[in-house]
């Protein structure tokens, strides 16, 4: 059971990506119900609260923080195994609010996404610094848009060359795990635009394999952390 919380307040794209654009959020006694994409996948986004597709959310920090607080407090996720929070780029209000409001919840960690070029790594190193400053564990780094295979001649090109070693070298330099690279498959963007699941639509893409490998590493990390948590509390009980 997975809940996804979209805290990109100004650019809420997840409803479109999950194929549930235009759906409504309902309120009940137990809080706001997220929108169900599937039986085991629910989503909350400010996108569901806007009346028009081009409505701009022109909010300063405090108002964004208020919305994020409300999302964390009032959404009735039910029993979920994972809550994924998708943040915009940056190290500002959205990120600080998530870190602060979830301080007591023993967050498993952050997955940091980069593209291979140095200009992107420049920003992402700062994200890693941010995680360290707010004591947020780092599950690992994912390098997106890694390489492109021409559908005609099958030759691979780096559209965004890793001129300084890419995500893998950066992860090594900053002493964080590297979870993997995702190749640039134009069908990923197409599926996002159409609200379809790329993993279901294009199961034989190298990108699908890469996604699955990265996901299994994340699950392994979280499972291990959970086991450690349980064994810690077990020891306390015996004592």
Please give the residue ranges that form the binding site for another protein (CB under 8 A): 9-11, 13, 16-17, 53-62, 64, 88-93, 95-96, 117-119, 122-123, 125-130, 133-134, 148, 150-153, 155, 157-161, 163-164, 174, 184, 186, 189-190, 192-193
Rank residues 57 and 107 by Cβ distance to another protein and give the closer one. 57
Q: Give the pairing of strands 35-38 and 31-33.
A: unpaired
Instruction: Name which of 95 and 217 has its Cβ closer to another protein.
Output: 95
Q: How far apart are CA 121 and CA 89, in angstroms?
A: 12
- CA dist., res. 195 & res. 34, Å (int): 17
Judged by beta carbon, residue 18 or residue 221, the one nearer another protein is 18
Q: How far is the CB of 106 from another protein (least distance, A)?
A: 21
Report the C-alpha gap between 98 and 126 in whole angstroms: 17
Distance of closest approach, residue 83 Cβ to another protein, in angstroms: 22
Is residue 211 within 8 A of residue 199, CB to CB? The reply is: yes
Cβ(76)–Cβ(30) below 8 Å = yes
Smaller CB distance to another protein: residue 116 or 217? 116
CB of 160 to another protein, least distance (A): 5
Nearer to another protein, 75 or 184 (CB): 184
- The number of C-alpha atoms within 13 Å of 234 and in the hemisphere containing its C-beta is 6
Q: How far apart are CA 4 and CA 83, in angstroms?
A: 6
Provide the minimum distance between the beta carbon of 233 and another protein in the complex, in angstroms, as a whole number. 32
């Amino acid at each position: 059971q997975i809940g996804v919380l979209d805290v990109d307040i100004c650019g809420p794209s997840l409803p479109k990506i999950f194929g549930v654009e235009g759906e409504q959020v309902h309120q009940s006694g137990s809080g706001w119900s997220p929108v169900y994409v599937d039986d085991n996948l629910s989503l909350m986004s400010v996108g569901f609260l806007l009346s028009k597709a081009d409505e701009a959310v022109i909010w300063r920090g405090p108002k964004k923080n208020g919305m994020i607080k409300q999302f964390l407090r009032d959404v009735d996720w039910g029993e979920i195994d994972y809550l994924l929070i998708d943040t915009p780029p940056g190290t500002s209000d959205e990120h600080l609010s998530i870190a602060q409001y979830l301080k007591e919840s023993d967050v498993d960690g952050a997955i940091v996404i980069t593209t291979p070029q140095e200009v992107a790594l420049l920003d992402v190193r700062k994200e890693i610094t941010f995680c360290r400053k707010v004591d947020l564990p780092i599950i690992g780094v994912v390098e997106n848009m890694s390489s492109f295979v021409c559908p005609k001649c099958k030759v691979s090109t780096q559209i965004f060359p890793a001129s300084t070693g890419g995500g893998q070298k950066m992860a090594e330099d900053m002493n964080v795990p590297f979870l993997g690279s995702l190749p640039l498959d134009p069908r990923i963007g197409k599926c996002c635009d159409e609200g379809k699941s790329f993993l279901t639509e294009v199961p034989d893409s190298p990108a699908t394999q890469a996604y699955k490998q990265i996901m299994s590493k994340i699950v392994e990390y979280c499972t291990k952390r959970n086991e450690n948590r349980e064994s810690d509390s077990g020891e306390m009980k015996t004592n």
